[in-house]
Amino acid sequence: MTNLGIGLIGYAFMGAAHSQAWRSAPRFFDLPLNPAMTVLCGRNAEAVEAAATKLGWNETETDWRKLLTRDDVQLIDVCTPGDSHAEIAIAALRAGKHVLCEKPLANTVAEAEQMAAAAAEAAAKGIRSMVGFTYRRVPAIGLARQLVAEGKLGTIRHVRAQYLQDWIADPEAPLSWRLDKEKAGSGALGDIGAHIVDLTQYITGDRIAEVSGQLETFVKERPVAAAHSGLSGEAGAERGPVTVDDAAIFLARFGSGALGVFEATRFATGRKNAIRLEINGSEGSLAFDFEDMNELHFYDATEDPATAGFRRILATEAVHPYVAAWWPPGHLLGYEHGFTHQVVDLVTAIAEGTDPAPSFADGLQVQRVLAAVEDSSASRQWQEIPS
């Protein structure tokens, strides 16, 4: 089988998740190409070397540009913070490498536009690109989309979506790159709000047309972590500004007229990674919570009222998306499986010569929604999403 050499840039949280995906995908799925874990890239030579050994990559590089010149690398997997996505991804596409880019696509709409343009150009030459909205690949989410597409919900009336975390609810939680606008571009809105924008659009097959939002930074200053301040033993003494939002809430109107209510926060004490979605249509409803990610709740309003009720579907049956490759019913999948499924879909698209989804254009559209939320928060008015 033909190899597909992978060059992964970044080896923190996302790097580890992507590594596990590249490693596991061919062991459970029949892939048309054989992904090779060729090279891991990071700026610190010693650290990247250690990471490569740990995560199972054959070689390392410290300059991502080198990856673009290697013949044994056909795909660049971008797991860096958002501020370098545009530069790397555009260069990679121009160098003829397929690109998988973590979300959010970029830190600004302008960058995202350039990336989408580059992706379109590359696509014309058979070079593929995908943005990593990995939660689309949770089987219960795939099932949700199927049910909507089959018309089981009728006309969609309501979308409510929350992405709730609590890791900085404590005002003494230290600063990190995710709280720095230069690096991260955005806070809860871009980091986790982006996911629920993508998921609700993906499931409904509809797009957000306009929004009214509000951003908030509850804790405006935080301790500088020792590692960042360079002053060991004095962690906590120095404080620095939080330059991104802690939480974002917004109303939305979908193209179809459905009403949406969105909330992304890192201050929901007790909620660890609660992606909660609920969709109400004229003929049925769906509910999902990532903290029970193997379950989809479905209400069929056309049934006999005596026995109608939300069904807890354990999305672990062979008929559910991706599941046949794994374990018997009731043997749960976890967080990392979404990354494996993402790789499966991407490799399949590359081999088949089709454009995988979500595309960079899809990522750009999400970025525009997020930008409209920010604008709306400033203008205190509804804001339309340019198409």
Q: Which of residues 303-322 bind a copy of itself (CB under 8 A)?
A: 305-314, 316-317, 319-320
CB of residue 135 to a copy of itself, shortest distance in Å: 11
Pick 78 or 247: Cβ nearer a copy of itself:
247
Nearest residue (CB) to a copy of itself, 133 versus 360: 133
d(Cα 171, Cα 174) in Å, to the nearest integer?
A: 8
Q: Closest separation between CB of residue 21 and a copy of itself, Å? A: 12
Going through 170-245 in order, the beta strands assigned E by DSSP cover: 208-216, 221-223, 239-241
CB of 24 to a copy of itself, least distance (A): 7
For the CB of residue 43, give the shortest distance to a copy of itself in the complex, in Å.
22
- Using CB under 8 A, pick the residue from 329, 352, 354, 378 that binds a copy of itself: 329
How many residues form the binding site for a copy of itself (CB under 8 A)? 95
- Check residue 331 for interaction with a copy of itself (CB under 8 A): yes
Asked if 292 is part of the footprint of a copy of itself (rule: CB under 8 A), the reply reads: yes
Q: How far apart are CA 199 and CA 15, in angstroms?
A: 22
Smallest gap from residue 262 Cβ to a copy of itself (A):
8
Among 94, 158, 228, 239, binds a copy of itself (CB under 8 A): 158
CB of 280 to a copy of itself, least distance (A): 4
The residues near 19 (Cβ < 8 Å, ≥ 6 apart) are 8, 11, 37, 55, 56, 57
Residue with smaller CB distance to a copy of itself, 193 or 356:
193
Tokens 């309003």 appear where? 301
Q: Which two tokens stand for residue 290?
A: 């990532």
Task: Show the tokens assigned to 313.
Answer: 């579907």
Q: How far is the CB of 142 from a copy of itself (least distance, A)?
A: 11
Structure token digits, residue 132: 């990593």
Nearer to a copy of itself, 73 or 286 (CB): 286
Distance (Å, rounded) from C-alpha 45 to C-alpha 50? 9
What's the closest the beta carbon of residue 355 comes to a copy of itself, in angstroms?
Answer: 27
Half-sphere exposure of 117 (CA within 13 A, CB side): 8
How far is residue 373 CA from its own chain's centroid? 18
Please select the residue that binds a copy of itself; options are 85, 103, 337, 368, rule is CB under 8 A.
337
State which amino acid sits at residue 295: E
Q: Which residues lie closer than 8 Å to 380 by C-beta, 6 or more apart?
A: none
Contact call for residues 71 and 50 (beta carbons, < 8 A): no
Give CA–CA dist 161/211, Å, rounded. Answer: 14
19 interacts with a copy of itself by CB under 8 A: yes
Q: Of these, 213, 356, 358, 363, which contacts a copy of itself (CB under 8 A)? A: 213
Site for a copy of itself, residues 170 to 189, rule: CB under 8 A: 170-171
Binding to a copy of itself in span 350-379, by CB under 8 A: none
Q: Which of residues 243-282 bind a copy of itself (CB under 8 A)?
A: 247, 249-251, 253, 257, 259, 261, 263, 265, 267-274, 278, 280-282
* Residue numbers 22-61 binding a copy of itself by CB under 8 A: 23-24, 26-28, 54-56
Question: Are 369 and 104 within 8 A, CB to CB?
Answer: no
* CB distance 224 to 239 below 8 Å: yes
Give me the amino acid identity at 201: Q
Binding mask 77-106 for a copy of itself (x = CB under 8 A): ------------------------------
Report the 10 Å Cβ neighbour count for 87.
17
Contacts of 345 (CB under 8 A, 6+ apart): 130, 137, 356
